[in-house]
């Protein structure tokens, strides 16, 4: 009984945490009047520079949205028409089966459930879409391995270009990068889970790697082990990484561990995949939180305690730019010389700010989503002189139990849950920066 109970607990925890086309692209009927064309997406990795993949450009934005069941659809937001449409060209299509180019099957064996989230992520270049499927868990009876799909901009000609090996998953919090010829993404390989002497199932050892996928040959290679490393940004022909020394193995007592952590220093390096070499850029003092960083041109912004720091990537010097915050900030993005960040207090209340790089001043942004559970209105992308934002969220309570089937065919029931429907709008950059509520809502077709 104890072992079975432990297994169910493990399942519950996992549940909670969980080449190129040369022909002319067709446009779906749903977006035949939209402004989406091949040439309107800036090619990442131009001239071999490593850049992050994006989900859109100044003309439109791609999304993966969950349908009313456990499945998903590819949708496109057109900035010119201010419409959100299914990525499908078939008239009268219900968009609920594999005959539809927008349809994406759910990856897990949940029944009567729409609680599965973050199963997919979509990115685009000037020629095609890349769809990352995060994969089902080995604990699920129909758990499919993580994979990368490549397709035309209209969703046609979908092909698998990468399938992860057993026990390997994507790091869903790390943005993929490209240099035009290769995709770079972070993977985690987890060893087999085994029960310990008390019958509690323990997860196997994990190994994090930076993986390179050649888009012509389809060959993938783990080019760097990421233990004690974090991928911060792309820069020139390499990656900006943070590296932290491992704690001594003989440090086991809580007081010793706290002391060792307090004295840990972190290095910022530029790693070049072609030469497999690293160049030291900066050694951060203890207390730096380099996992949260934003690069803007030749500046890398990161967090040190409650201060926002700026590292000049040319002269390798760092200085504080925002000091005296009462809560640890979370950096979001930087557009047009405006660095956006948020803070969250002890009661989990969030506040948003912008820092003007030229005037060296920061000011609050008071745009919030609707109650209950109001959050700062988040920027998804630039759209010319506007931002695309998620300005409203409706939380929907589903009273149905979710049912998970484990590898032995046993059903596990979990209580009802809340899903979120998001609404999108364009807002002028100046209105966003000055907290003027002037939304241009995105309609649905």
Q: Which residue has the higher pLDDT, 442 or 408?
A: 442
CB atoms within 10 A of CB 9: 12
Contact at 8 Å (CB) between 120 and 103? no
Q: What tokens does 368 get?
A: 């919030």
Q: Where are the domains of the chain?
A: 1-227
Provide the pLDDT for residue 42: 34
pLDDT at residue 98 above 80?
A: yes
Residue 44: phi and psi, rounded to 5, are: -65, 155
Q: How far apart are the first and last CA of the chain?
A: 52
Site of tokens 């695309």: 388
Site of tokens 């030229």: 358
pLDDT at residue 91 above 70?
A: yes
pLDDT digits 0-9 by tens, 417-436: 556 788 999 999 999 999 99
Dist. CA 196–CA 175, nearest whole Å: 35
CB atoms within 10 A of CB 168: 19
Dist. CA 169–CA 144, nearest whole Å: 11
Helix extents (H) in 326-399: none
pLDDT at residue 235 above 90?
A: yes
pLDDT digits 0-9 by tens, 103-125: 988 654 332 222 234 588 999 98
Contact at 8 Å (CB) between 258 and 197? no
Q: What tokens does 206 get?
A: 């994990």
pLDDT digits 0-9 by tens, 129-170: 999 998 755 444 346 788 999 999 999 999 999 999 888 888
Three-state SS at 123: strand
Q: Which residues of 356-384 are buried (b: 16+ CB within 10 A; e: fewer)?
A: ebeeeebeebebbbeeeeeebbbbbbbbe
Report which secondary-structure segment, H or E, holds 11. helix 2-17
Q: What is the average per-residue pLDDT within 176-199?
A: 84
Contact at 8 Å (CB) between 328 and 268? no
Three-state SS at 4: helix
Q: Give the HSE-up count for residue 38: Cα atoms under 13 Å, Cβ half-sphere.
A: 10
pLDDT interval class at 317 (50, 70, 90):
very high
Mean pLDDT score of the chain: 80
Dist. CA 244–CA 445, nearest whole Å: 49
Contact at 8 Å (CB) between 137 and 18? yes
Share of the chain above pLDDT 70, in %: 75
Contact at 8 Å (CB) between 50 and 177? yes
Per the DSSP assignment, residues forming a β-bridge with 188 are: 169, 208
Q: What tokens does 147 get?
A: 């994979």
pTM, two decimal places: 0.79
Provide the pLDDT for residue 346: 84
Contact at 8 Å (CB) between 312 and 296? no
pLDDT at residue 386 above 70?
A: yes
Q: What is the average per-residue pLDDT within 237-250?
A: 84
Q: Which residue has the higher pLDDT, 300 or 304?
A: 300
CA dihedral 407, 413, 415, 416 (to 10 degrees): 80
Q: What tokens does 230 get?
A: 């974090």
Q: What tokens does 326 get?
A: 């009462």
pLDDT digits 0-9 by tens, 191-233: 766 677 777 666 667 889 999 999 999 999 999 999 889 999 9
372: cis peptide before it, omega within 30°?
yes
pLDDT interval class at 445 (50, 70, 90):
confident
Provide the pLDDT for residue 141: 37
Q: What is the average per-residue pLDDT within 171-198?
A: 84
pLDDT digits 0-9 by tens, 16-51: 444 333 333 333 333 333 333 222 233 344 457 899
Dist. CA 243–CA 300, nearest whole Å: 15
């Amino acid at each position: 009984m104890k072992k079975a109970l432990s297994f169910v607990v493990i399942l519950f925890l996992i549940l909670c945490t969980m080449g190129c086309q040369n022909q002319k692209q067709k446009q779906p009927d749903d977006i035949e009047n939209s402004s989406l064309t091949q040439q309107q997406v800036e090619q990442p990795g131009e001239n071999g520079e490593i850049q992050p993949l994006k989900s859109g450009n100044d003309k439109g934005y791609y999304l993966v949205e969950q349908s009313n069941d456990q499945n998903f659809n590819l949708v496109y937001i057109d900035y010119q028409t201010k419409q959100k449409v299914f990525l499908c060209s078939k008239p009268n299509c219900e968009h609920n089966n594999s005959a539809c180019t927008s349809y994406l099957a759910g990856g897990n064996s949940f029944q009567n459930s729409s609680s599965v989230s973050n199963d997919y992520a979509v990115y685009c270049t000037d020629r095609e879409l890349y769809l990352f499927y995060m994969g089902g868990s080995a604990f699920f009876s129909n758990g499919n391995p993580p994979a990368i799909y490549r397709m035309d901009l209209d969703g046609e000609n979908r092909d698998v270009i990468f399938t992860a090996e057993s026990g390997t998953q994507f790091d869903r919090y790390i943005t993929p990068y490209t240099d035009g010829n290769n995709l770079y993404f972070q993977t985690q390989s987890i060893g087999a889970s085994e029960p310990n002497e008390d019958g509690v199932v323990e997860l196997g050892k994990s190994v994090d790697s930076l993986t390179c996928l050649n888009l012509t040959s389809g060959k993938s290679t783990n080019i760097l082990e990421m233990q004690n490393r974090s991928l911060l940004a792309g820069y020139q022909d390499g990656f900006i990484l943070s590296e932290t020394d491992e704690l001594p193995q003989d440090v086991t007592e809580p007081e010793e561990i706290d002391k060792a952590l307090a004295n840990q220093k972190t290095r910022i390096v530029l790693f070049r995949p072609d030469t497999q070499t690293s160049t030291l850029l900066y050694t951060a003092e203890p207390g730096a939180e380099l996992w949260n960083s934003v690069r803007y041109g030749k500046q890398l912004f990161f967090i040190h305690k409650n201060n926002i720091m700026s590292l000049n990537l040319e002269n390798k010097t760092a200085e504080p730019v925002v000091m005296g915050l009462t809560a640890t900030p979370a950096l979001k993005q930087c557009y047009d010389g405006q660095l956006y960040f948020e803070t969250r207090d002890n009661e989990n209340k969030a506040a948003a700010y912008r820092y003007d790089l030229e005037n060296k001043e920061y000011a609050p942004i008071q745009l919030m989503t609707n109650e209950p559970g109001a959050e700062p209105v988040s920027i998804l992308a630039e759209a010319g002189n506007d931002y695309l934002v998620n300005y409203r969220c409706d939380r929907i309570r589903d009273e149905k139990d979710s049912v998970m089937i484990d590898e032995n065919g046993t059903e596990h029931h979990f209580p009802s849950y809340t899903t979120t429907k998001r609404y999108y709008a364009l807002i002028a950059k100046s209105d966003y920066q000055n907290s003027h509520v002037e939304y241009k809502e995105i309609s649905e077709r």
